Structure 1
Amino acid sequence: MRDDAITLETALASFAQRLNAAAPDAALRAAMIRCIESDLDRLPLPGAGRTLARWQQLAAVAGIDLALFKLFEGHTDALAILAELNAAPFAGHGIWGVWAAEPPNARVRVSQPDNGQVRLDGRKAWCSGAQQVDYALLTAWDADDRPYLVAVQLDQPGVSIDAQAWQAVGMASTASVDVHLDNAVGHCVGESGDYLARPGFWQGGAGIAAGWYGAAVALARSLHQQRRQGRPDPHADAHLGSVDAALLGAAAAMRECAAWIDAHPREDARLPVQRLRAQVEMAVEQVSRHVGRALGATPFCRDAHFARLAADLPVFIRQSHAERDLAQLGQVLAARDAEDWSL
């Protein structure tokens, strides 16, 4: 499966260069269309025996460009959700997104159900890639506050995008914008509550960690290359040693979590995935710190690929909610009869 990851990385490498052009949105969409037309988006499904291979391919894309990864991960997550819930709401091909953020001041309502088709009204916040995708799976609520997952074709009357609030420098080109829905047509995917109750919910959440890891590896490779070619520098070597230890620990955690998911495909993966995300996040923060201190300003200023990853990664990793996620992990552990920390 490692060969597939290399094939994907090779196929997208030329598009990574285009992201420095004047029209990065168009370059990102072109890269995604290339993936779809070449079936490179058809990753192994989570829990189907090749979860690690799926994460390897996600990590490969993240190492090329995190804005591209944002689109790729959302699209492939949507395909996995549709497969798990046995749904095919639209016949046409295109780029998918998944929009499940639920801030209290932005909620979409479903109404007028008719054989799975509904009408949608409201504002959906944090809609990543809305300016590039064709379809989206979004969470919405009926009049009785029951949750639904709804598939929406974005090129229709009643759907408008407001990107003015997005002021990010990192992750600038895959803006997480507001989408306004005014009597737009949607199609329910599964029954009420299926999106959160399915095993793939937490399995899919680990794919983000694969992206964090892939970006950190790309930064670490710059340090490794510099140490192979540079003059003796024990301080830089110490930074490389710290980076190696952090990445090897995170990689071991990813392999262990993938093996657990494949061995327990129908079980709740919340605990192993929350542990994995915490471990990978801490490793990525260590790698970013050590690489920056070892290399100094030069790659931030003169290496376009490095500079883009270094700017995007601090924004992208905030898909973790930091101490809130750690508190949730602690609560899950505190409710268990025993810990499992023995060797």
Structure 2
Amino acid sequence: MGSTPADLSRYVPLLDSVAASIGDVPALLALAVEAGQTWPRPGEGSTAVLWELLASVAATDVAAARVLEPHLDAVAILAQSRHAFPDDRSIPDDATQGTWGVFAAEAPGARLEARSGDAGAVLDGSKPWCSLAGRLDFAIVTAHTDDGGRAAFAVSLRQAGVACEEPEWIARGLREIPSGSVRFDQVPATPVGGTGWYHRRQGFAWGGMAVAACWLGGAVGVARDFRAGLLAGAEGGREPDQVALAALGEVDRTLTAALQFLARTAAGIDDGTLGGGAGQSTWSEAKRVRGTVAAAVERVLHLVASNRGPGPLAFDEPYAKRTADLALYVRQHHGARDDAQLGRLALKGDCPW
């Protein structure tokens, strides 16, 4: 993704530990804490390295990336808030000593409100889609504020008044990452930026693109499974036919194009040129990246599944897990609805063409 082997060499031991910890959520959370202390943060000169590391984790195990990415996002959010508000002493100094999540989803029937209390903000209500909440120490959560907007808050999940639902997670994908609701009952929390800051900052778009890097890494893992299966068949005397080779070729160019797009985008983040054109925004580029990567992932999943058939899905556990995990994870992209938002921006001239 634009980085060199030398850029990644110091991170190899942790990546090896991820491979040895597949399915072990406590071990993966410990690795997330380590990564938060040692991995680069977006926008600080090594965004391509960060995204390649996330993609490498996802290529090994999609669920592992689903554990690491939110913690790293929380570390970045707190760093961005300290940079934006250097005089605000209430912002937590460090996010690296515990495990963190980022809970920003909204859903019908679930509403989290932040009210001003004697000692700061108090959270009351429920928040949906809180992955691994019962195993985490802290979270960045978004809540509705008294002034009619939304803001981010840092909150300990280990205090009285926090109730983490144990969801009946029936999904076959991301089975070790259940996402339920968290109920907050008059829970003290620390504001992180003011109303609107969480969604307005450039880092919001950067975080969305980091998730896309994870999706793409998962697709790379699926493609490697496909290639390995073709090579194993050839070694057994069954050479791939033209249809299989054409599918592999399309997978190659699909992934290569998406990887190059991410590399170019990461470079633009670090040199300050992303969204720098007249009428262009970082958010529109995030929509392009996420949509392009999501389409690439869907295409790779289709090509590989169509060519490998039912056998690997039934009997190859790592491959079956990878495809199920990735198919669920990429649904964080909202398809045509996200494209409609991008179209609205393009109609206003927020486009590079």
Q: Same fold (TM over 0.5)?
A: yes
Name the residue aligned to 1:311: 324
Q: Check if 1:168 corresponds to 2:171.
A: yes
Determine the structure 2 residue equivalent to 1:24.
none
Which residue matches 2:278? none
Report the Cα distance in structure 1 between the residues aligned to 2:32 and 2:68, rounded to whole angstroms. Answer: 9
Which of 288, 299, 306 is matched with 1:286 structurally? Answer: 299
Gaps of 5+ in 1: 20-26
CA contact (8 A) 1:41 1:72 kept: no
Find 1:15's aligned residue among 14, 21, 42. Answer: 21
Which range is displaced more, 76-85 or 234-243?
234-243
Determine if the alignment matches structure 1 residue 50 to structure 2 residue 46.
Answer: yes
Residues 14, 286 of structure 1: CA spacing in aligned structure 2 closer, same or farther, 3 A cutoff?
A: same
Is 2:261 aligned against 1:253? Answer: yes
Letter in 1 for 2:292: Q
Moved over 6 A (4+): none
Residue 237 of structure 1: which of 242, 245, 261 is its match?
245
Tell me the residue number matched to 1:330. Answer: 343
**Shift in Å, 1:6:** 3.7
Alignment-derived partner of residue 297 in structure 1: 310
Query: Relative to 1, partners in 2 of residues 1:224 and 1:140: Cα closer, same or farther, differing over 3 Å?
Result: same
The reply on whether 1:77 has 2:73 as its aligned counterpart is yes
1:340: which partner in 2? 352
Distance 1:196 1:7 in 2: 35
- How far is the alpha carbon of 1:165 from its aligned partner? 5.0
Tell whether the 8 Å contact from 1:278 to 1:326 is kept in structure 2 after alignment.
yes
Aligned twin of 1:64: 60
Partner of 2:3: none
Fraction of identical pairs, as percent: 36
Structure 1, residues 162-186: CA drift from partner, whole Å, max 9, x if none? 2335332212221111000111121
Deviations 1:49-96 (A, max 9, x none): 211111001111112222221121000000000000013267882110
Give yes or no for the alignment of 1:199 onto 2:205. Answer: no
C-alpha contact 1:8 1:61 (8 A) present in aligned 2: no
Q: What is the SS of the residue equivalent to 1:131? A: helix
In 1, are the aligned partners of 2:18 and 2:64 still within 8 Å (CA)?
A: no
- Distance in 2, matches of 1:59 and 1:108, equals 32
CA change 1:285–1:4 in 2 (3 A) is: farther
Q: Deviations over 1:186-241 (max 9, x none)?
A: 11112222111211110111001001100000010011122233222222111111
SS state at 1:101 partner:
coil
Taking only aligned residues, the RMSD between alpha carbons, in angstroms, comes to 2.0
In the alignment, the residues of structure 1 paired with residue 114 and residue 93 of structure 2 have an alpha-carbon distance, to the nearest angstrom, of 16
Residue 266 (structure 1) shift: 8.6
Count of residue pairs brought into register by the alignment: 329
Please give the per-residue CA displacement for 1:272-329, whole angstroms capped at 9, x wherever unaligned: 2111111111111111111112222232223222111111111110100110001111
Aligned to 1:139: 142
Give the equivalent residue in structure 2 for 1:220. 223
Distance 1:266 1:310 in 2: 32
Structure-2 change in CA distance of 1:265 and 1:205 (3 Å): farther
How big is the shift at 1:41? 5.2
Q: Taking structure 1 as reference, are residues 89 and 101 closer, same or farther at Cα in structure 2, changes over 3 Å only?
A: farther
Structure 2 unaligned blocks of 5 or more? 1-6, 83-90, 276-280
Q: Residue 101 of structure 2 corresponds to which residue in structure 1?
A: 97
d(CA) in 2 for partners of 1:89 and 1:40? 14
Of 2, 26, 37, the residue aligned with 1:29 is: 26
> Closer, same or farther in 2 for the Cα pair 1:219/1:5, shift >3 Å?
farther
Q: Could you say if the C-alpha distance between residues 286 and 48 of structure 1 is closer, same or farther in structure 2, counting changes exceeding 3 Å?
A: same
Residues 1:127 and 1:293: Cα distance change in structure 2 (over 3 Å): same
TM-score relative to the length of structure 1: 0.90
Maintained 8 Å contact 1:4/1:57: no
1:186 maps to a residue whose letter is A
The answer to whether the Cα contact below 8 Å between 2:32 and 2:71 also exists between their aligned partners in 1 is no
Structure 1 residues 182, 52: closer, same or farther in 2, change over 3 A? Answer: same
1:23 corresponds to which residue?
Answer: none
Could you say what secondary structure the match of 1:313 adopts? helix
Report deviation, 1:151. Answer: 0.8
